[in-house]
Chains A and B, each alone.
Chain A
């Protein structure tokens, strides 16, 4: 891939949901394809499956 990647958090996603829990930010990473076209990757934390526990 050509060119530097830019990674920014989307400010639209810092709002809280109806649950009052802050939404995790959507991360945007911009890049260029080999032929010069723009490509943007959006990523976010996948929800944990029911019953999943965080390790200490």
Chain B
């Protein structure tokens, strides 16, 4: 368990070899994320309570930890290695095993937004955490090993590469135009409307103009806030509602619970001034390009980082709006 920096890209990579032994697709009656039911033969799960609403706990198989072991390999000036210092948490959305995010009731999702905001504040206050990354991997197609509805939060010791790149682009836009890049994109998308999936007074869900994936959707608050703690109660309720609309639209369009990665892009917690550049967004990345076909990350995407999309974003948005 350690971090190593790749000399050619300058990127830090995580190594968590102990995660090879993590619990892999247990049956529902052996789910480690369900509550611990009372009874003489009941097995203790990760949550030693007979019921719960929303729970967050340290991952048993963390990629980052507050007290990581020393690295297993010696680094060098050119190829440094460092302990995997940070945080890795599991967020349980419900004590019900057989529900997905799209099936959660609106109040619970609203409270989940509060929990994400609280974890952003709690983890972001730790000196070793520079970026709080909340996300959900849903479905076997994106590598989920436990079916129970849950997400994760990583507290990274540095800003991950993609987020760092995007923040740099936003900083250049701010320097040139004097405005927030995401605010300007949101205004364009709202005015155009062709790629909007759903919207209300506080937030907009849209397929990006240059989406990487066929049914990628961004959910963005209209309020310029870098992170969830900057949103008021109305904006949080709106965000929760749009997250449910998007996940519901996915399942309705594809006819099954669509696998996806849901990722929260928020401001770094390194003490820097991100007020003009960071703008909260929730990004959905489903890997399906049709009900029976996956969009594989192959040569262009994996090797070159150049995404090739098979579906026009305008068509994807219309389909997600339920238009024939």
Residues of A in contact with B (beta carbons under 8 Å apart): 1, 10, 12-13, 15-18, 23, 26, 28, 33-34, 37-44, 46-47
Contacts and interface: CB of A to CB of B under 8 A. Distances in A.
A21 to B, nearest CB: 9
Contact of B107 (A1, A12, A15, A47): A47
Interface of B: 46-49, 52-58, 60, 105, 107, 111, 114-115, 117-118, 121, 229, 232-234, 237
Nearest to B57: A39
Contact residues of A: prevailing secondary structure: loop
Nearest to A14: B233
Contact of A33 (B57, B111, B118, B237): B57
Nearest to B202: A18
Contacts, number: 65
Contacts of B111: 26, 42, 44
Contact of B115 (A1, A26, A33, A37): A26
Contact of B233 (A17, A43, A44): A17
A12 B111 CA distance: 11
Contacts of B60: 37
A41 B114 contact: no
Contacts of B121: 12
A1 B36 CA distance: 13
A16 B118 CA distance: 17
